Amino acid sequence: MSQLKPPAGKTDHMQGPPDAIITLVEYGDFECPHCGAAYPVIKEIQQTFKKQLRFVYRPFPLSNIHPHALQAAAAAEAADRQHWFWPMHDMLFENQDRLDGRSLVSYANTLKLDLKLFKEDINDPAVAEKIEASFESGVRSGVNGTPSFFINGSKYNGGNDYGSLETAIRMQIELVM
């Protein structure tokens, strides 16, 4: 079974307690319809497991298939520089059919981000490098499509529906308790 490389850490986008007994990592693509379908499932999983779960999102834009994926990932990273990664993450998944440049700026405006800074950051080579590093970590971890999930560092190969993920997480909780 593939292992997460590197493990979740300070540079990751995280929700939930840092000391949670379960860490669920998603490698995702904002334009991927399968990731879009998994988005509400993850929200429900987070509600179910609350303090037991830390959720980590790592961008894995499949730009050869999804023409707006890389720019959408850059928009999320640019929003992160203003401490608005998660609201932008949610907005991108909730508007998957509109990820062109004009729409990304509109989302930044809706979130009341500093638009001048957002536009600079979205094109910053350091943002592109961070996304590339995330993509490369996914490749090293055995990711070959999106969404790809890891539960406590081990690649999860089950279904992306609520029942399958919930069962796998409960099994992992039993192992660590």
Average pLDDT over residues 110-126: 98
Exposure string over 80-100, b if 16+ CB within 10 A, otherwise e: bbbebbbbbbebbbebbeebe
Between the two ends of the chain, the Cα-to-Cα distance in Å is 22
Q: Name the pTM for this structure.
A: 0.97
The CATH classification number of 13-176 equals 3.40.30.10
Name the percent of the chain lying above pLDDT 70. 99
Domain boundaries, the chain: 13-176
Does the pLDDT value for residue 177 go beyond 90?
A: no
Euclidean distance between CA atoms 111 and 158, whole angstroms: 35
